[in-house]
Chain A
Amino acid sequence: MGINTGVAPKKPSGYDMPEGDEQSAQVGRRNRRARIWMGVFQLALVVAIVALIALLYSIVNDSFGYAAVENAVDPAQIMAGVQADRMLAAANTTTSEDDEVIAAAVAADPNAIGFFGYAYYNEHADELNLLRVDGVAADAATVESGAYPLARPLFLYAGQKAVVNKPEVAAFLDYYLRHADDVIADVGYFPASAEALAAAHDLLLQTAKAGIPAAIGDGAIAIAGSSTVHPLTLQIANDFRDIEGYTGTLTVDSTGTTAGYARLCDTQDVDIAGSSRAMTRQELAACDDLRVKPIELRVGTDAVAVVVSKQNTFLTDVTTAELEQIFSGAERWSDVNRAWPDAPIVRAIPGADSGTLDFMAGAIVSGTPAQLSAAEMVPLIKSAVSSGVFRRFEAEMPFAERSQADIYALLQERVIQPSVVASWSMTASLLRRAEIEKEVFTSFPDAELVWYRWLSKDFLTSPQSSVPEQAGVRTAILGSLWVVLITVLIAVPIGIGTAVYLEEYAGHNSFNRIIQTNIDNLAGVPSIIYGILGLAIFVRALEGITSGSALGVSDPTTANGRTVLSAGLTLALLVLPVVIINAQEAIRAVPKSLREAGYGLGATKWQVTWTHVLANALPGIFTGTILAMSRALGETAPLIVIGASTFITQDPTGPYSKFTVLPMQIYQWTSRPQAEFKHIAAAASLVLLALLLLLNGSAIYLRNRFSKTL
């Protein structure tokens, strides 16, 4: 109702405007209409915000997330190797393949420490003290349960077909499992628990459908695999012949665990493979695919005894961390633990060929390859690559001059070679974590599930690569910056000049109106047309200039016009209308009174234009420049036409360089089939957005600084 009384005053004739309640209702209708429009605008705003968020989300979603990373070489294996070398190189260390020598050396010196297979400790228990490791003493129970840190299970793997079809194989395994405990201590290992052996035996019986034959038969039995299991197998094989009366050919090769698997599964020339570690799920699956279907039989446990002399008075307990220090070359006991005496450490360890040394090294080593010194990494690289490649690295930059980080990068690239075998988006990673973990566990048992940042420092600083994990955007960022720089340097002065001429100097004739109309329409020409124009003019017709060969800065036989300069010129043409139109708007917005004030003081046209018109139009001109820059930075189509490189690893160094730009790189990556390229395309999109924000931010900062004086 408002101020109205509700009683319509008398209207004079011909007066037709709502009064009273009618007026209130009419105002209400007008307000409702205004509210509806406001709602429409708010909706538009919401749509815009949702679209922006969706865009950003889709990019970020692909830029981060879980990835299953598999290494060509296990970093733990590298560390074990490095640690073994450290141990062999440590001063004051006796090395021997003969455990008796080690035992004698340790027994003789109260400051000595050594280790060997557990079996030898029993023989020398009167001269030596066994140390508890991480608080656990080695005995049958702790070794079997795995509580003792320096223990590992030993296995046999037998092909199912061999067990079923070859009675002598089934018989041998049966004998093995029944008598392993009898001889294992003599060979130097710990027995497996009775339960483990019984379980293995049950599995054998289940597999051998015909049961264990009473008559052994005389077919050949071939065994290969772990050198650790080898002496045990050899002992049992001898007994099998001597005691059980087996007359066939029994060969036992010591090849190492992995080589044994290859002979069991791939070449299938052995029936049984000895193993000092469990087969990975991946290896098992691969083997099953080859129709071998191996069965796993636990036969014993290997453990290392760490011993000191009976004369030693201070050492009963040691941790694996202390062991690492002790055997890596610490000079005095007090250096490792202050509670220990200030006496030299004397070491006695198995030699380089010993599996015990390797096992011990792997068990006590800590740290990752990233912490290795340059001197430790160079030999690893040298042994992993061909001598030619190594010489090339040395020629590019001598290893002595390379930083540790550089060499580590090489180690990663050439030796460890981590590769992403599966990857997930951020949303999937956050919402389906358990599922992903299960999938990796079953499909990629050797892979490690890590939170992968596709957008990383390395991504920003690496050049393009055909391996998505190693590919980066450095070349593209530099290319984009060069192209935008040239675009802005050319388009902005020409654009401002044109705008000043059209606004301040040009007469109002039909010729100038045609020019104006043309400029307005050029802003809407498809960008690919500019690409065709650029190809014809800059790349082809002006090749001498754009390739730099006419100016003598590049080699005319190899140079062509597909350079940063051509791209910059083409994009300058493309953004010129944007710059001109914005500058014109800005110049038009400078009040006439300012111009009059200038002229009234006896200034010339140019003085007024420069000091007042241009100075006050500067913010608007900057806005046009920002728009132009954004357009140039995101443009792809014309650059494809003028021939920007899609794969280039060399940074652009100047206007005459070959180049690529970020949008090209993104375009190229999104068209690759591998999923990992989608991730780096998303990461590169984020980089492009950030670059855009950075460039526009600096332009806005400059604009504000210039207009602050107003």
Chain B
Amino acid sequence: MAIQTKMATGTSSSSASTLADMTSGGGMAAPAARTHDGPLAIEARNMNIYYGNFHAVRDINLQVEPRKITALIGPSGCGKSTVLRAFNRMNDLVASARVEGEVLFNGRNIYAPEVDAVEVRRRIGMVFQKPNPFPKSIYDNVAWGAKVNGFKGDMDGLVEQALRNAALWDEVKDKLKQSGYSLSGGQQQRLCIARAIAIKPEIILMDEPCSALDPIATLAIEDLMKELVEKYTIMIVTHNMQQAARVSDYTAFFMVDPKRTGHLVEYGPTRQLFTNPKEKRTEDYITGRFG
């Protein structure tokens, strides 16, 4: 149980000292100047990702602030999704993928040999691009994750709480036994979010969660993210710069180099990045000159 923390306290400061040690001892070039010395939610250090011989992403150093929304933006193929998936070892599922460097979470490198990917994913949940509820009832969709992770308490209460937190409860409370597929796209995505928060993660990774949704459903998800961020750290990949500007606290901008290897160009508070980018490339991208 290398990175296990007390479930009840969630992302509280129980591991603050460890994380503080990590950040103070880091000494690497942080892309964003931190404005405080609080603990980080998660941090990538010198992360390089390969697909077979292809160097997909190079030299990522990213310090993610707790209980903030961090947006990853950049043109297609820049590796932002790959980076996001590296934060809960989803890349393990791709046979040819290889991650080098460290991802520090609660003071431990989640890629350390003794760390099980299953433990990581229990702490760092994920919401995918296309809503992918299980072909089960709404209730079972939410309960399943908790069940496989050994939840023994009041399941009904947990399901209700998760659905309430995902702002879905009022819409589905009378049809919990119905299939998850019976919901609309936006509802399905919120169900996936409810499913993710039912296992009480510390971080929720969202991989373009609104790209398959209409503007109204998108707005609902964005509002939900703003509520969730009070309890959870959220990282979101988005193609939609307005969305990043609307919801995120921090933004990381990725680009590809001529070898098609993605890298982090600029990372900082969203307002600063959008109004006063330090890099010319960032400015070109956010003003729509390319991408």
Contact = CB atoms under 8 A, between A and B. Distances in A.
B90 A602 contact: no
B179 A709 contact: yes
A59 to B, nearest CB: 42
A508 B52 CA distance: 14
A14 interface: no
A60 to B, nearest CB: 43
Nearest to B205: A600
B285 interface: no
A316 interface: no
Interface string A680-710: 0000000000000000000000000000011
A604 to B, nearest CB: 5
A220 to B, nearest CB: 102
Interface in A417-465: none
Contact of B93 (A595, A604, A710): A595
Contact of B121 (A594, A600, A616): A600
Contacts of A508: 95
A598 B90 CA distance: 11
B134 A612 contact: yes
Interface string B113-131: 0000111011101111010
A597 interface: yes
A709 B136 contact: yes
Interface in A606-625: 607, 611-612, 615-616
Interface in A570-619: 591, 593-604, 607, 611-612, 615-616
Interface stretch (B102-110, B166-174, B191-199, B237-245): B191-199
Contacts of A611: 134, 144, 148
B132 interface: yes
Given A600-B126, A600-B196, A710-B179, A607 B135 contact: no
B148 A597 contact: no
B196 A601 contact: yes
A81 B148 CA distance: 81
Contacts of A597: 128, 132-134, 192, 195
Interface string B81-102: 0000000101001010000000
Contact of B135 (A595, A596, A604, A709): A709
A707 to B, nearest CB: 9
Contacts of A612: 134
A446 to B, nearest CB: 70
Interface in B218-266: none
B159 to A, nearest CB: 14
Given A593-B132, A594-B134, A709-B136, A601 B148 contact: yes
Given A709-B179, A710-B179, A710-B181, A600 B128 contact: yes
Contacts of B149: 601-603
A710 B182 CA distance: 10
Interface residues of A, number: 22
Contacts of B192: 597
B181 A607 contact: no
Contact of A603 (B95, B118, B130): B118
B185 interface: no
Nearest to B125: A600
A604 B132 contact: no
A593 B118 CA distance: 17
A600 B95 contact: no
B93 A596 contact: yes
A594 B93 CA distance: 13
A602 B199 contact: yes
B31 interface: no
B130 A604 contact: no
A598 B117 CA distance: 13
Contact of A593 (B117, B130, B144, B199): B130
A599 B93 contact: yes
Given A508-B95, A709-B135, A710-B179, A602 B148 contact: yes
Nearest to B119: A602
A596 B148 contact: no
Contacts of A603: 118, 144-145, 148-149
A602 B122 contact: yes
Contacts of A595: 93
Contacts of A601: 121-122, 125, 144-145, 148-149, 195-196, 199
A148 B123 CA distance: 105
Contacts of A598: 134
A652 B121 CA distance: 55
Most buried by A among B126, B181, B192, B195: B126
Interface string A35-63: 00000000000000000000000000000
A710 B90 contact: no
A385 B133 CA distance: 76
A600 B145 CA distance: 9
A604 B120 CA distance: 11
A596 to B, nearest CB: 6
Contacts of A596: 90, 93, 126, 128, 132
B121 A593 contact: no
B118 A602 contact: yes
A616 B125 contact: no
A602 B125 CA distance: 8
Interface string A485-511: 000000000000000000000011000
Contacts of A604: 118, 148
A507 B122 CA distance: 26
B135 A616 contact: yes
B44 to A, nearest CB: 19
Contacts of B135: 594, 615-616, 709-710
A30 to B, nearest CB: 35
A407 B122 CA distance: 74
A607 B93 CA distance: 15
Contacts of B196: 600-601
A602 B121 contact: yes
B90 A600 contact: yes
Contacts of B148: 601-604, 607, 611
Nearest to A615: B135
B132 A594 contact: yes
Contacts of B117: 599
Contacts of B199: 601-602
A616 B135 CA distance: 8
Contacts of B145: 601-603
A600 B88 contact: yes
B288 to A, nearest CB: 31
A600 B85 CA distance: 10
A586 to B, nearest CB: 14
Interface in A526-552: none
A602 B197 CA distance: 12
Contacts of A594: 132, 134-135
A627 B195 CA distance: 38
A601 to B, nearest CB: 3
A602 B181 CA distance: 22
B81 to A, nearest CB: 12
Most buried by B among A591, A595, A598: A598
A612 to B, nearest CB: 6
Interface string B157-181: 0000000000000000000000101
A661 to B, nearest CB: 39
Contacts of B144: 601, 603, 611
Contacts of A591: 132
A316 B132 CA distance: 95
**6 A-B pairs closest in CB distance:** A602-B122, A601-B145, A600-B126, A593-B132, A710-B135, A602-B121
17 contacts: A593-B128, A593-B132, A596-B90, A597-B133, A597-B195, A598-B134, A599-B93, A599-B117, A601-B149, A601-B195, A601-B196, A602-B119, A602-B145, A603-B149, A604-B118, A607-B148, A611-B134
Interface of B: 88, 90, 93, 95, 117-119, 121-123, 125-128, 130, 132-137, 144-145, 148-149, 179, 181, 192, 195-196, 199
Given A601-B149, A604-B148, 4 more contacts: A591-B132, A596-B128, A600-B126, A611-B148
